[in-house]
Structure 1
Amino acid sequence: MAFEGEESFADAPEQPIPQASVPPSRKLIVVLENASLEAARLHPYRYDTKMQLLNCDEHQSILKRLGRDIADARPDIVHQCLLTLLDSPLNKAGHLEVFIHTAKGVVIRINPECRIPRTIKRFSGLMVQLLERGSIVSDQEGHVKLLEIVPPPVTQYLPTNAKRFALSWNAPKVRLYRYFKSIPEEGPLVIAVGAMAKGPDTFADSYVDTKIGISEFSLSASVACAKVCCALEDLWDVM
């Protein structure tokens, strides 16, 4: 499917991602935790009203009326993270898998070949379709699921032999390249990243082994994702 004025995000890359050729020990699974992706019919008594993705820029008055913190409606954080992750050489070389775990408990699996819309407006429209339909399918032959809501919990999609980390500003700081290099290549890496505007870093306490900090400064989730990808691209010789 395509959005007006933009090439279809469902098109496959020019060079197919060589997933099968990548050893499991050189796979990164990113879980975007506590993501703000919530669709709502803003006028519930009017059945002709379309569903919209709640965001703090357009729906401040509605969120206040509902007693909601406007910081809880930040789908732009997930959008920025997905652009960073899926555009990375790490993903294009077949080393990356991405899951979204929303604040409402919805688990979304992202096909590495998915091309995310570049604007937040089109991204919001795509997410509403996904939340309503359960999946977004490629128009190309084979009808590949590019985005798919899958049954929770997210932990069932994480390999049992994976080393699991969460990024936390309060955790001991590490230099990512050196840190990843010190880890034996015995299984995939799982990195949980908080995709929310604020809140405690307890979002992945139930399944991660270690929390690590990656900067002395407070970073956006997108920048944190970029630093992880760049470190592993250097380590795994991906250009």
Structure 2
Amino acid sequence: MAPLPKSEESNSPTERPTSRDSAERGKKRARTQSMPPPELPKLVAEQHAPIPTNDKDTQRLIVVLCNATLETYKASHGTGRGPGAREDKYNLLNSDDHIGVMRKMGRDISEARPDITHQCLLTLLDSPINKAGKLQIYIHTSKNVLIRVSPTVRIPRTFKRFAGLMVQLLHRHQIRSTSSQEKLIEVIKNPITDHLPPNCRKVTLSFDSEVVRVSDYIGDLNKGESIAVFVGAMAKGNDDFADHIKDDSIAISQFNLSASVACIQQTTKGWTYLYWTRQLAHKQQLTHADESDHGPHIDER
């Protein structure tokens, strides 16, 4: 029989392992460890000057997110007290992860939609009028908890980290900046009217009301008059959440709009237009005043 080629001989089952192969096989495979869970989000304030909380005169837009479904539940119990004890673990109730929990409670999944509040906050905080320092934001939850959100806060973009932040807020009642002692989000005392400026028109958005253009409606405000818009931050339900304090009720579209779209309408088409037109008018007044002081420019050529 002809001898096998060298390559086939090396693959023959009768080949004995060399000492080098045995040494490599004897080595233990290095263990791989999963990455540790991310820390709770830490907030840093942005560097623009909002309206101070004690300022009641500056004209502004105030958005109140009503009936927000921000609620925690105990996911696991702690292990008692001591150096190695674990604390109770709480989660933010939401319809994606806790359908079984909601069924045990006998509640509808629409009562656990914190993602609506998350979307609205991202929309409001990213708006040009907030960057200009003319916006104030409040949240009134379905459990009658009133929350003030600083216009300088940077909310986490992902819902998972936002949920962890809300659990921390609802149990500690405040979230401070990592770079200062500023309270970026805090639970405050009811009612909301105690925190609104005295010269403020309180408006609710209702599909059953007359449709108006946001820019026209805001343009009719009195000089120095602020406006507080109450937006429903829930999946479904009646829009009577602010009937006991409202001055007016309007519709901004002939269609049903989501809460985040309603926030976009208020912060872009209305107030941004009004803010920049008033800034332009103010500059024109300064220009005319300057010309009256120094006289018109004369071309001596």
Query: Is TM (by shorter chain) over 0.5?
Result: yes
How far did 1:171 drift?
1.1
2 CA distance for matches of 1:87 and 1:4?
A: 25
Q: In the alignment, does 2:101 pair up with 1:53?
A: no
Correspondence for 1:171:
209
Equivalent residue runs for 1:1-239 within 5 Å: 4=38, 10-13=43-46, 15-17=47-49, 19=51, 24-43=57-76, 49-141=88-180, 143-230=181-268, 231-237=270-276
1 CA distance for matches of 2:141 and 2:185?
A: 14
Find runs of 4+ consecutive structure 1 residues off by over 4 angstroms: 3-6, 43-49
How far did 1:5 drift?
8.9
2 CA distance for matches of 1:186 and 1:237?
A: 16
Give the secondary-structure state (helix, strand or coil) at the position aligned to 1:126.
helix
**Cα contact 1:96–1:112 (8 A) shared by 2:** yes
RCO comparison, higher one (Cα < 8 Å, 6+): 1
How far did 1:23 drift?
9.2
Structure 1 gap ranges (5+) = none
2 CA distance for matches of 1:212 and 1:44?
A: 47
Give the secondary-structure state (helix, strand or coil) at the position aligned to 2:276.
coil
Deviates more, 1:66-75 or 1:178-187: 178-187
Structure 2 gap ranges (5+) = 1-36, 81-86, 280-301
**Cα contact 2:121–2:155 (8 A) shared by 1:** yes
**Cα contact 1:9–1:114 (8 A) shared by 2:** no
**Cα contact 1:31–1:192 (8 A) shared by 2:** yes
What is the CA deviation profile of residues 76-103 of structure 1, one whole-angstrom value per residue up to 9, with x for unaligned ones?
Answer: 0000000000111111111000000000
2 CA distance for matches of 1:196 and 1:43?
A: 27
How far did 1:24 drift?
3.7
What is the CA deviation profile of residues 128-173 of structure 1, one whole-angstrom value per residue up to 9, with x for unaligned ones?
Answer: 00001010001113x1000000111122111222011011111111
**Equivalent position amino acid for 1:131 in 2:** L
Give the secondary-structure state (helix, strand or coil) at the position aligned to 2:139.
strand
Give the secondary-structure state (helix, strand or coil) at the position aligned to 1:173.
coil
How far did 1:12 drift?
2.7
**Cα contact 2:77–2:89 (8 A) shared by 1:** no
Give the secondary-structure state (helix, strand or coil) at the position aligned to 1:189.
strand
**Equivalent position amino acid for 2:233 in 1:** A
**Cα contact 1:90–1:233 (8 A) shared by 2:** yes
How far did 1:43 drift?
4.6
**Cα contact 2:66–2:142 (8 A) shared by 1:** yes
The alignment of Structure 1 onto Structure 2 pairs a total of residues equal to 233
TM-score, reference length from structure 2: 0.72
**Cα contact 2:78–2:89 (8 A) shared by 1:** no
Correspondence for 2:291:
none
2 CA distance for matches of 1:106 and 1:91?
A: 23
2 CA distance for matches of 1:46 and 1:202?
A: 44
How big is the alpha-carbon RMSD for the aligned residues of Structure 1 and Structure 2? 2.4
| Percent sequence identity over aligned pairs | 45
